[in-house]
Amino acid sequence: MTVPELFLVCSVVGALFTLNAYRPARSEPVSLPVFFAGWLTSELPLHHLAWEAAATAVFIDRGALDGGAGAVGLGITLVSWAGLVGLAVQASRSQAVLETALERGLGPRYRSSMDPELVVEGDAARRWRRLVLPLLMFVVPDREVEKVRDIDYAGDGITAHRLDLYRSRTHPTGCPVFVYIHGGAWVIGDKREQGVPLMLHLASRGWVAVGVNYRLSPRATFPDHIVDVKRALAWVREHVAGYGGDPSFVVVSGGSAGGHLAALAALTANDREYQPGFEEVDTSTAACVPFYGIYDFTNRHGVFGAGMGKRLLERMVMKVPLAVDRSAWEKASPMDRVGDEAPPFLVVHGANDTLVPVAEARHFVELLRQRSPSPTAYAELPGAQHAFEILPSIRTAHTVGAVERFLAAVHGARRASISNDPVTP
């Protein structure tokens, strides 16, 4: 193959990645490779443009434009680059989408209720460094945030029962607590891999953030996963004050399977069935922020196909067919646990999610707004794939800011309600 022809092939491949970020195929057999192909492209489009520009310069230096194929390849490349710039513009529009979601969920004047101590203007240069070098945060210690690794929250020595704690290096006290549960289809994943941009940001802004591991399938069978999450919440309630946290204000969050577990934990506060041996510990949460979660194992709305997802749940997670024990699947579904005691929710989902269809979030939010008196905010982000906020990106930065404002408003409302309570003699 000549250099011009090779350049044309590479140009077509690059353009297909860009096209996939805009219009991903949603059929179940290809949903996973489509996700991987679209995830980094849609979240780091300018990085893609930079390395493609470098590769194009090398091709041109080697004679890629000496033939007609090379000229066609260059034309395709330029169109693809325009698409990548468009993806960056699309990501920047998430800010307006998120703000509209907060205004609808909390009220148009929600900012007046935000706790001012929890919304602090940050270091713009620091934010830009994270956007330019998104992997740096995983290898270089944060100068503002201290990490306490691998705390045994169950006291049993099991490796899966570990949590990481993030707090300001100044060691403030009375900090609200943010608990994040990683995803991975209940079978893979680790607390060090997900939710890191959000936890680092909140920890630098007056929060104690906690990343939780839990037992994974196929070794674990539901409800082992949610029992472990509840054990972690129990540890937080009993011990986080020693790390500067306020055990009276704990919020829970997570992505994908972690979004499912976060929502389920928030909707089953103090459920004794999920708290064996620690039934009396208060595991209630002040708010919940699930990202691209699974909220209905029974698939009552036909959102998922009948293939891979159902087989995963039946064979590895639930280990009982839906047709045999539907009640167990319903108990595991946050949609079946929504009631009038649900805390405030901020539900975030990507419009281009190929692993968990966005309709799943829409149905869950509709149910929350029907049955829960607490505020429910919903942000459906254009162009966002599954797991979009794992790395620092333009969209992640806007999402982190919106979560910060949402939680500051919930915290401010909680403090205002406590201060207005009559004093009991």
pLDDT, tens digit (0-9, with 9 covering 90-100), for 397-419: 999 999 999 999 999 999 888 87
* Mean of pLDDT over the chain: 93
* Three-state DSSP string of 110-162: HHHHCCHHHCCCCCHHHHHHHHHCCCHHHCCCCCCEEEEEEEECCCCCCCCCE
Q: Is residue 425 part of a domain?
A: no
Q: Is residue 216 part of a domain?
A: yes
What's the pLDDT at 424? Answer: 37
Examine the residue annotation and report whether 386 is marked as an active-site residue of this protein.
yes
Given the residues 48, 353, 393, 398, select the one marked as catalytic: 353
Q: Is residue 85 part of a domain?
A: yes
Pairing of strands 245-255, 208-212: unpaired
Mean pLDDT to the nearest integer, 68-80: 95
Statement to judge: residues 84 and 100 lie in one domain = no
CATH of the domain at 339: 3.40.50.1820
Statement to judge: residues 19 and 115 lie in one domain = no
Q: Is residue 334 part of a domain?
A: yes
367, 398 in Cβ contact below 8 A?
no
The span from the CA of 383 to the CA of 363, in Å, is: 20
Statement to judge: residues 210 and 298 lie in one domain = yes
250: tokens are: 């704990």
Mean pLDDT to the nearest integer, 19-31: 85
What's the pLDDT at 69? Answer: 94
Statement to judge: residues 325 and 263 lie in one domain = yes
| 241 contact partners, CB below 8 Å, separation of at least 6 | 247
Statement to judge: residues 261 and 401 lie in one domain = yes
Statement to judge: residues 75 and 196 lie in one domain = no
Quick one: which H or E segment has residue 346? strand 345-350
Q: pLDDT band for position 180 (50/70/90)?
A: very high
Please choose, from the candidates 34, 15, 37, the residue with its C-alpha nearest in 3D space to the C-alpha of residue 25: 34
Per residue in 299-321, pLDDT (tens digit) is: 999 888 765 578 899 999 999 99
The answer to whether residue 230 scores a pLDDT higher than 80 is yes
Mean pLDDT to the nearest integer, 222-243: 98
**How buried is 61 (Cβ within 10 angstroms: 0-12 exposed, 13-18 middle, 19+ buried)?**
exposed
Statement to judge: residues 303 and 163 lie in one domain = yes
Buried-exposed string 212-223: b where 16+ CB fall within 10 A, e elsewhere: bbbbbbeebebb
What's the pLDDT at 147? Answer: 96
Statement to judge: residues 227 and 287 lie in one domain = yes
Q: Is residue 364 part of a domain?
A: yes
The span from the CA of 125 to the CA of 135, in Å, is: 16
What's the pLDDT at 418? Answer: 82
149, 166 in Cβ contact below 8 A?
no
The span from the CA of 316 to the CA of 331, in Å, is: 17
Given the residues 225, 260, 386, 398, select the one marked as catalytic: 386
- Number of structural domains in the chain: 2
Statement to judge: residues 57 and 145 lie in one domain = no
End-of-domain residue from the set 91, 111, 133: 91
Mean pLDDT to the nearest integer, 23-51: 88
Statement to judge: residues 205 and 248 lie in one domain = yes
Statement to judge: residues 163 and 247 lie in one domain = yes
Examine the residue annotation and report whether 363 is marked as an active-site residue of this protein.
no
Q: Is residue 382 part of a domain?
A: yes
Which range marks the domain in which residue 174 is found? 93-420
What's the pLDDT at 176? Answer: 98
Mean pLDDT to the nearest integer, 44-52: 94
The span from the CA of 218 to the CA of 312, in Å, is: 10
Given the residues 11, 80, 256, 393, select the one marked as catalytic: 256
Q: Is residue 111 part of a domain?
A: yes
Statement to judge: residues 263 and 331 lie in one domain = yes
End-of-domain residue from the set 58, 91, 124: 91
What's the pLDDT at 423? Answer: 39
Examine the residue annotation and report whether 113 is marked as an active-site residue of this protein.
no
End-of-domain residue from the set 32, 67, 91: 91
